[in-house]
Structure 1
């Protein structure tokens, strides 16, 4: 069980689209919008986990065309989200501050987030705990994963909000938001390179 908990921690804490976007939303828009966004990510990641444990994800992703469509959607959506975060702190007169990503955005991101599928597949298909009680194991894993997932995401939100609260000069805030967006795009680029 300790090995499983450590695997959850290290898979969740490493930068991916979810945690990087949480920090970006916190930095660009503040705590309340960030908490709503985390709510969407939480719903989305649990839906992905449910799809993994029921076999629905394997069935859907078995078709290479579906995987390609999801990959393209993921790339496009992450690029769009990175763009919104990059512009969130900009004080440029002709660019209106974008609406903060909300619950629906979080759910949508997890639905097309390749890391969400990979992490949930690794966690729920590996690390056997109960040899003869699959559903008890799944329930326990859901509890452990969520008990670690929530604080990690709120920690990333806190980091982003802390940057926001420093009341930095507009140029500095814009540079931080652009840095967060570029980090998200680096994760996307790595996904593209490993997919090819």
Structure 2
């Protein structure tokens, strides 16, 4: 169980679309709006986990045509987000809309996030610790995963809010944006190669 918890921690804390967009929403809209977005990410990641555990994700992804369309949509959307982050200029927030993305935006991001599928597949199909009681193991994994997931995302949100409060030069903002975008694309590419 400790190995599972360690795997959850390291797989979730690494920069990916969820945590990077959380920092971006925090930087652009503050803590309250960021918490609504994190609630959406939370619901989305648990929906992805349910799809993995139930076999729905495997069933849908078994059809090569559907898988290709979903991968193209998710890769395109996440590339779009990375480009917006990279070219946000002196703003740390990549979101140009007047209103924050909210709960629905978080749910959508997680359902097209290949890292979410790769992480949940790795966590729920590996690291078995109760082979004699699969249902209890799955419930325990959900509890452990969420107990680690929530504080990590709140920490990334706080980091985004804190970066916004700093009076950084436009050059430093631009460097941070490009580093966030490159990190995001690297994780997306790794996740896509794991799922293909």
Is TM > 0.5 for Structure 1 vs Structure 2?
Answer: yes
2:15 is paired with a residue whose SS is coil
Shift in alpha-carbon separation, 1:195–1:117, aligned structure 2, 3 A: closer
Structure 1 residues not aligned, in runs of 5+: none
**Could you say which residue in structure 1 is the equivalent of 2:112?**
112
Shift in alpha-carbon separation, 1:191–1:145, aligned structure 2, 3 A: closer
Q: TM-score, normalised on structure 1?
A: 0.85
> Are the counterparts in 1 of residues 118 and 194 from structure 2 also a CA contact under 8 Å?
no
Write the distance in 2 (CA, Å) between the matches of 1:30 and 1:184. 21
With 166-175 and 145-154 compared, the bigger mean Cα shift is at: 166-175
> Are the counterparts in 2 of residues 23 and 180 from structure 1 also a CA contact under 8 Å?
no
Shift in alpha-carbon separation, 1:34–1:85, aligned structure 2, 3 A: farther
Write the distance in 1 (CA, Å) between the matches of 2:33 and 2:83. 17
**Could you say which residue in structure 1 is the equivalent of 2:125?**
125
Write the distance in 1 (CA, Å) between the matches of 2:101 and 2:181. 14
1:98 aligns with 2:97: yes
Structure 2 residues not aligned, in runs of 5+: none
Shift in alpha-carbon separation, 1:173–1:20, aligned structure 2, 3 A: same
> Are the counterparts in 2 of residues 27 and 177 from structure 1 also a CA contact under 8 Å?
no
Shift in alpha-carbon separation, 1:119–1:146, aligned structure 2, 3 A: same
With 21-30 and 169-178 compared, the bigger mean Cα shift is at: 169-178
Q: CA deviation at 1:116?
A: 0.8
Q: CA deviation at 1:35?
A: 1.4
1:30 is paired with a residue whose SS is helix
Q: CA deviation at 1:175?
A: 4.6
What CA deviation, in whole Å up to 9, does each residue of 1:98-147 have, x standing for no partner?
24322112111111111111111111111222222111111111000000
